[in-house]
Amino acid sequence: MPSKQNNIHIIGICGTFMGGVARLAKELGYTVSGSDANTYPPMSTQLESLGVRLFEGYRAQNVPDNVDIVIVGNTIGRGNPELEHVLDTNIVYTSGAQWLGDNVLRDCWVLSVAGTHGKTTTSSLLTWLLEDNGLKPGFLIGGVPENFGESSRLGDTPFFVIEADEYDTAFSDKRSKFVHYHSRTLVINNLEFDHADIFHDLAAIQAQFHHLIKTIPSHGQILHNAGSPAINEVLAMGCWSDTQSFGTLDMNLAADWHVRKLEDDASAFEITYRHQTYSAQWDLIGEHNMQNALAAVAAAHHVGVQVEDAVNSLSAFKSVKRRMEKIFDEQLNGQQIRVFDDFAHHPTAIEQTVNGLRDNVGDGMIIAVLEPRSNTMKQGVHKHLLKQSLQAADASFIYANDQVQWDIQQLQDENTSTFSNVDHLLDTLVDTISSCAGDCSVLIMSNGGFEGLYGKLIEKLS
């Protein structure tokens, strides 16, 4: 039982990251309460099952009188009634990332996975590779790895895997969250412009990544994508740790680690390291996932997992919920209809996901359904890239509610339909599926709930 700060209150508790922090705090023996604008399953039920007291909505009286410290979520700003109460009454407060760094990660061998895309999948992969090879790591991941069924745990060894997000830390700390993590092994998968609500341009993001690199000890290791000029520019700003690079063999990149696909959909591939080649076969598809696997194998090797053992463990990896998760797969009127749920919300990730499905289904029909829901997409920062990102689909449906600040109709053409009403989109989607001449795959992409589209579609198909 902790000797102090026994009672923790978390403002903004139901996000994946803060919910994971709450789970770790409970595992350490703290009494935890928290509030959020909307407390809903599955996070609400998970937290309540752990004995976390939850409050719907923000009110000063939600903060317990005997609270020792308040953890403020990074979406919480001035004007929030609970934050104002904390400031007015001089209650000790901190951010989730700071609390995590001070109370969980300080004495751990932290393996951080950073980058614009693939953090959740690569973190989940890395955690599984360590778990399957007996290292029993702790972890905090921005999703639910199906091999574990939970987003965080303390673990039984000093190793701790964390998804290292570049988003800002809190209202009072505008550094990226990952600078608090005391990383010893760092993976940087890729680096592009995103989070336009926080960063003015790519250079601002690169500055934060350089701050992160400054925190890696000299005996640590940075594993980075050799094919990313933006990462190379960050490393050129200064690096004081050992580095290893990884890349796709077909791109003829000079790298320490290489990967080459053996099947068109990258369900089989081979990894080469120090002139030794290891073959892998697994259930995932897409070159982006193949590259995520390469990064995870390289990071696992840094903590002592043999390459052959790590590659063998890939076959038992079960992916992450909402990352090309198949949520429907049935024969309807002689056609095989499959529906996938994916979190992709940046044009590069969207393109990689659609292309991966295309490699898997060949000439089969693909219908891509997209909700531009991230702050960056709502502002239209990447709107000029969306058509290219969806090009491999046979038909694309794009939905925008009134929070989207640009006219999505400018993307409409013979293959792209735009909607401002989910029910209208749903009816058109069902009609399109019904008219398919053969098998049909529906790929729904959103980093939110898409106003219940998933459940409504499955209900109509069923």
Alpha-carbon distance of 329 to 364, in angstroms, equals 14
pTM: 0.85
Query: Any idea which residue has 């902790």 for tokens?
Result: 2
In terms of Cα–Cα distance, which of 187, 188, 191 is closest to 203?
191
**Per-residue model confidence as pLDDT tens digits over 253-267:** 789 999 999 999 999
367-394 average pLDDT score: 82
**pLDDT band (50, 70, 90) for residue 4:** low
- Given pLDDT bands bounded at 50, 70 and 90, which one contains residue 1? very low
Q: Could you tell me which of 370, 374, 369, 348 has the C-alpha nearest to residue 287?
A: 348
For residue range 150-187, list pLDDT tens digits in order. 889 999 999 999 999 998 999 999 999 999 999 999 99
pLDDT confidence bin for 304, thresholds 50/70/90: very high
pLDDT at 344 over 80: no
Contact 172, 96 (CB under 8 A): no
- Alpha-carbon distance 93 to 87, whole Å? 9
Domains of the chain: 7-94 (3.40.50.720), 107-316 (3.40.1190.10), 325-461 (3.90.190.20)
Do the Cβ atoms of 270 and 260 come closer than 8 Å? Answer: yes
Three-class HEC string of 245-299: EEEEHHHCCCCCEEEEECCCCCCEEEEEECCEEEEEECCCCCHHHHHHHHHHHHH
Mean pLDDT over 20-39 rounds to: 94
Output the six-digit token pair for 416.
């792209």
Integer-rounded Cα Rg, in Å, for the chain is 22
Angle at 199 between CA 197 and CA 200, to 5 degrees: 100
C-alpha–C-alpha distance, residues 117 and 395, integer Å: 24
- pLDDT at residue 3 in the model: 44
450 vs 85, higher pLDDT: 85
Average pLDDT, the chain: 91
Considering 23-32, 37-46, 315-324, the range whose residues carry the highest mean pLDDT is: 23-32
How does pLDDT run across 401-417, given as a tens digit for each residue? 777 777 777 777 888 88
pLDDT category, 252, cuts 50, 70, 90?
A: low
